[in-house]
Each structure stands twice: as C-alpha cells, then as structure tokens.
Amino acid sequence: MNIAAPIAPVTPAAASRDRLTLVAMSLAAFVTAFGAHMVAANISLFAADHGAALLEVGLIIGAYEVAEVFLKAPFGLLSDRIGRVRVLVAGLLFFVLASATFALSARAELILLARLLQGIGAAAFSPASAAIVGTLRRDKGLAFGYYGSLKGLGYATGPVMGALVSGLWGFQAMFWLTAAVGVVALSVVLSVVREQPGGVAARKKTTPLDLIYLLKRRDLWPAYAAMLVGMALFYSAVGFVPLYAAAPAGANAGNLGPATVAVFSAAYIFLQPVVGRWSDRHGRSGLLVGGLILSTLSIAAVPPMHTLWLIALVSATFGAGLAALTTVSYAIVADRVDQAELGTAMGVADTVREIGDAGGPVLFGALATAGGLAAGFWGLAILAAAVIPGVQLLRRNEAAPLPGAGV
C-alpha cells in the first residue's frame, strides 16, 4: 500500500501561497458550479423553445453527465502527465466556449453540442482542481471543506439565479452571464494558481493502468464506498424528498417541498468546513463511518415523518451526514495517494461519485415503483447500511497510520 510522503514543515510564504490557492480554487468551484447548474435547471425549456423533440431534450440533458462519467478519470490522468493547471485552464475555456455556444444556438443540434462541451469542461476542471486542493501542505480536511462548501453553494444558487435572469431578460442573458462567471473563474486561476513545485520532471508518467490500480487499492475503498453511497442517497433525496413532503404539506406542497431541500443544502454547505477541521484535528476514519451512519439513518427516518417540520429536521441531519462523507472522503484520498498521481486518483473518485449520482435515483425509482416511496427510502437505507460494516472493517485493517487518519 502506497502512503503519501511525510509533509514538510510549512513556511509562512508557503502557507500564504496555499491560502491564496485555496481561495482561488474555491471561487472557481463556486462560479463553475453556479453556471453549470444555472443552465441545467433551465436547459429543457430553452431546448423546447427551439423546437427540440422530447428525445432530443433527453439527450441534451444527459450529454453533460455522459461526458463527466467517461472523461473525469482520463482528464485526471492527463493532469498528472502535463500539469494540473493546464488541464484546469482547458476545462474553464471549454466552460466559457460552451456558454457562448448556448447563447448563439438556434437549433437543437447546437444546443446538444454546447451541453456536451460544458460537460467536457466540468470533467477536466473537477479532478484537476481537487488534486490542486489535495496538494496543499496542511489542513487538507479544512481545505476540502471550504472548497466543497463553495461548490455546494454554487449548485444551490445557480438554478434560482438562472430562473430569475431568464425570466427577466431571456435565456440568452442567462447564457452570457454563465460565460461571464466562467471568465471570472479563468482570470482568478491564471492570476493566482501556479503549477506544483517540481516541474515536468517530477510528474509521474501515468498510464491507463494506473486507473485500474487506483481503483483496486483497498486502502481507498472506504472513501470510494462513501462517495458512491453518499451521492446515491443525495440525488435520491433531492429528487424524492420534496415529492414525499408534498403529502403532509397539502396545498402548499409546491413551496414547502423544495424548502426541505433548502434545509438540507444549508446544513451541507455550512458544515463541510466544520467537519473538515474536526477531521484534521481528531482523525478522518471515525467521521467517515459516522457520516455513513447518520446519512443512512436520516434516509430511513423519512417515511415515518408525517409533518413537514420533522421532514425538514431529517433533511438537516442528512445534510450533516453528507457533509462529513464528502469532505472526509476527498481528504482521505489526498492523504493516501502520492501527489504525483493525485489527479488520476481524484478522477477515479469523481467517476465513482458520478456512478452514484446516476444509479441512486434509478434504483430508488425502481424500488418506489414496486412498493411505494417508503420502499424507496428504506431500500436505499438497507443497501447503505450494508456498506458500513465493510468500511469499518477496512478501516480497522489499515496496515499503518496515515496523515489525518484517526481511530
């Protein structure tokens, strides 16, 4: 099992540079998530207005996810070979190009191309940016906490702003705004972020076999499992908790259902830096297991809740559990992987997350079709609970102590 090399003492200049890099990466993560999800929440209406058939609308919506699933790992590997900042900048350029293409599109085919370009940009940006955050010299949990929190804020606010802008000034204004925030992110990155010390000679000559090797590493399985389960539960909750909340909400369901998602989002966004700092001081593995347990119990507790306030409370506890899973999982990967192959490792981890994103709601839908919404919540909770003993066992069987890895 490969262990990351011991971390050298941090000089004041290096600490200052790390802080600037973290601010830049967190801001870039916010604006790209903001822009991408601003478009995602409104793209189906825009495509329909331009004559897209239902199948074409489905392809347009799915193109982004397809690009992420298949390209995040290769882009992560590429970032280890040619440099993370180069891949990061390329991803942001694709993002801006896609936004401009949206604004100029008059046919469904061009809208599909723009959405695909946006997915390619996200696939390049995500593993490269996570690897850069992972190379910061200390407090990796706190760093991933801030990074994930700002990214989550972009996810939450983008759709709302997109609806507002497109409603007031039309879809083209929304797309040009997306391009503008992409330019802001690109400018910040070019001004602040520098390639890691060591240059090309220090970079690992990664190959596609490294993807398989990193996926097979047992010491990373707890983080992968937490990411897979966490994202499966997350997207199922976002999709189905508002629907379930509609029953007790009655006539106000249209407003109160999304409010439960807002409660979840608030807990998820604001608690990530808190759990990240805790993991830096007290260890990561216990928080990982605790996050899994809390998320599983929260999903299982939804069906017995018969008032909106109780559902909102469960949403808050679920947000707290997922905050722990997300932040700690990335920090564990950064702890345990050599920096020279960290881009590849983040690409693999992000791909596992994307599989959870896509698979969770599909599985929930199948369970709910067979036995109702309650069966969907309980079925996913049972599957998530089955993962916990395996994560706990792998945690206890670690061969050596790791940076930030607690007992």
Residue 400 has pLDDT above 70, yes or no: no
Output 224 or 303, whichever has higher pLDDT. Answer: 224
For the segment 72-99, what is each residue's pLDDT rounded down to a tens digit? 999 999 999 999 999 999 999 998 888 8
Percent of the chain with pLDDT over 90: 38
Output 402 or 105, whichever has higher pLDDT. Answer: 105
Residue 404 has pLDDT above 70, yes or no: no
- Taking the model in full, what pTM does it have? 0.86
pLDDT classification of 401: cutoffs 50, 70, 90: very low
CB atoms within 10 A of CB 18: 18
| Mean pLDDT across 213-234 | 91
> What DSSP designation does 195 have?
P
pLDDT at residue 62, as a whole number: 78
pLDDT at residue 256, as a whole number: 52
Residue 285 has pLDDT above 80, yes or no: yes
pLDDT classification of 9: cutoffs 50, 70, 90: low
Mean pLDDT, rounded, of the chain: 83
Map out the domains of the chain as residue ranges: 12-203, 212-396
pLDDT classification of 335: cutoffs 50, 70, 90: very high
**Furthest-apart CA pair in the chain: how many Å?**
64
Measure the CA–CA gap between 258 and 239, rounded to whole angstroms. 10
For the segment 230-282, what is each residue's pLDDT rounded down to a tens digit? 999 988 887 787 777 666 544 444 455 566 777 888 999 999 999 999 999 99
Residue 205 has pLDDT above 70, yes or no: no
| Mean pLDDT across 327-335 | 94
For the segment 14-71, what is each residue's pLDDT rounded down to a tens digit? 778 888 999 999 988 898 888 877 877 777 777 777 777 777 777 777 788 888 889 9
Amino acid identity for residue 137 in this structure? R
- For the ranges 2-6, 118-122, 194-198, the one whose mean pLDDT is highest: 118-122
The topology under which CATH files domain 12-203 is Growth Hormone; Chain: A; (1.20.1250)
pLDDT at residue 198, as a whole number: 43
CB atoms within 10 A of CB 209: 8
Measure the CA–CA gap between 356 and 326, rounded to whole angstroms. 13
Measure the CA–CA gap between 338 and 6, rounded to whole angstroms. 10
Residue 208 has pLDDT above 80, yes or no: no
Equal CATH topology for 12-203 and 212-396 = yes
Measure the CA–CA gap between 42 and 163, rounded to whole angstroms. 7
Output 208 or 384, whichever has higher pLDDT. Answer: 384
Sign of CA dihedral 90, 96, 98, 101: negative
Residue 173 has pLDDT above 60, yes or no: yes
The residues, any chain, with a CB within 8 Å of residue 121's CB and separated by 6 or more, are 32, 91, 92, 93, 94, 95, 97, 98
> What DSSP designation does 399 have?
S
| Mean pLDDT across 132-158 | 90
End-to-end CA, the chain: 18
Amino acid identity for residue 343 in this structure? G
- Output the CA–CA distances (angstroms, integers) from residue 172 to 99, 195, 278, 295, 350, in the order listed: 10, 35, 44, 39, 31
Sign of CA dihedral 66, 71, 73, 79: negative
| Mean pLDDT across 174-184 | 87
Measure the CA–CA gap between 307 and 245, rounded to whole angstroms. 8
The topology under which CATH files domain 212-396 is Growth Hormone; Chain: A; (1.20.1250)
Contact 91, 67 (CB under 8 A): no
Output 101 or 262, whichever has higher pLDDT. Answer: 101
CB atoms within 10 A of CB 259: 17
